[in-house]
Amino acid sequence: MEANGEEATSSVDRGNAGWDPQSDTRGKHRISVELKRLEQEARFLEEELEEVEKTEKVSAGLQEYVMNEIL
């Protein structure tokens, strides 16, 4: 209790113990940066998968061509 008879409310009483608006902003920024990195990696992997699929099609086509030439 304070001297004037009013109770002091702590951050625990308010339900946000240790909450700091600045650290919250930094946390959001870190999450945003990580999300962008993951999105970039996903795009890269999608492009790689497309290249592999094209290569497989070419390989199958080339194999068919070679087999037809042999026969």
pLDDT at residue 11 tops 60: no
φ/ψ of residue 63, rounded to 5:
-65, -45
Percent of the chain with pLDDT over 90: 34
pLDDT at residue 42 tops 50: yes
Sorted by where each begins, the domain ranges of the chain are 21-70
The type of residue at 29 is: H
> Average pLDDT for residues 29-39, to the nearest whole number?
97
At 19 the pLDDT is 67
Pairwise CA distance, residues 27 & 20, whole Å: 10
pTM over 0.85: no
Residue 1 pLDDT class (50, 70, 90 cuts): very low
pLDDT at residue 16 tops 50: yes
